Amino acid sequence: MIFVDADRKIVGRLASFVAKKAVQGEHVTVVNADKAMMTGSKEATMEKFKVRLTIRGKGNPEKGPKFSRMPDRILRRAIRGMLPWKSSRGKEFYRNVHVYIGLPSEFEGKKFEDIPGAKADESRKVVELGAICKLLGAKW
């Protein structure tokens, strides 16, 4: 079992690392999903997520498509996009991935895996995933 801390990590690079480990047969647990970082300006990132929330089906808008506002669900969906989802193997890999908001008490004191190249530095424009979700109306 691998533990990953998403604090100050870029979402895409974190998701690709987790997806590779899941394909290799590892059980992966990601904590602090709300502290993961999205690259780009705050305005552009917010616009992208607001457009997703306004998409509705033409036949019956209640049936979807539906996009989550919670940071753990958004990060889990990014990981799912990097897995072979349409096969039974891909769904099995996806079941081995667990994402949590914050640091649950059962994972305190565990050794977290280091992800090379995923740390968000100050030279980029980044926005915290939790801040985006709060502006979209998520409550946790």
DSSP assigned state of 107: G
Under 8 Å between Cβ of 77 and 116: no
Mean pLDDT of 82-111: 96
Give 52's pLDDT tier (boundaries 50, 70, 90). Answer: confident
The identity of residue 109, as a single letter, is G
**Residue-wise pLDDT tens digits, 10-44:** 999 999 999 999 999 999 999 999 999 999 999 99
What are the CB-based long-range contacts (under 8 Å, 24+) for 65-69? 69/133, 69/136, 69/137, 69/138
What is the reported pTM? 0.92
**9 in the Ramachandran plot: left (φ > 0), alpha (ψ -120 to 50) or beta?**
beta
Give 94's pLDDT tier (boundaries 50, 70, 90). Answer: very high
Q: What domains can you pick out in the chain, each with its CATH number?
A: 2-136 (3.90.1180.10)
